[in-house]
Amino acid sequence: MEVSVYLESIRDLEVELRTDWTNEVIYWKQKSRVEWLQEGDKNTSYFHLVTQSRRKWNFISGLFAPNGSWETEEDGKAIVASDVYSSLFSTDGMDA
C-alpha cells in the first residue's frame, strides 16, 4: 500500500473519532438535562444541592483593587468591578 492510502485511512479514522466524541458529549449533555427535568423541577434535595452548588461556584468572594488591597465587602467589590470595567471601556489615552 502507498503512504497516501495510509494517510487517507488515518484521516478517515480521525474524522470518525471526532464525530463519535462529539456525539458522546451531546449524549451526556442530553442525559444530564433529562435528569434535571426529572429531578430538578421538584422541590427535592437534588434541586437544592444543584442550586447551592451553582451559587457557590458563581460567588465572588473578593477582588483585588488596583492598589493591591483585597476587597471582600459587597460595596468594595462593586467599586473595584466598576472601576476596572470603566477603565477597560474608556477612550482616555486612545488615539481617535
User: Is a pLDDT exceeding 60 seen at residue 17?
Assistant: yes
Task: Kindly state the cell numbers that stand for 94.
Answer: 486612545
Burial class (CB in 10 A: 0-12, 13-18, 19+), 77: middle
| Residues in Cβ contact with 84 at an 8 Å cutoff, skipping those fewer than 6 apart | 66
Confidence of residue 93 (pLDDT cuts 50, 70, 90): low
Integer Cα distance of 25 and 87 in angstroms: 39
Residue 13, in any domain of the structure: yes
Residue 29, in any domain of the structure: yes
Question: In total, how many domains does the chain have?
Answer: 1
Residue 94, in any domain of the structure: no
Question: Given phi > 0 = left and psi -120 to 50 = alpha, else beta, which region is 28?
Answer: alpha
pLDDT for residue 14: 93
Residue 17, in any domain of the structure: yes
User: Is a pLDDT exceeding 80 seen at residue 30?
Assistant: no
User: Is a pLDDT exceeding 90 seen at residue 52?
Assistant: no
Residue 15, in any domain of the structure: yes
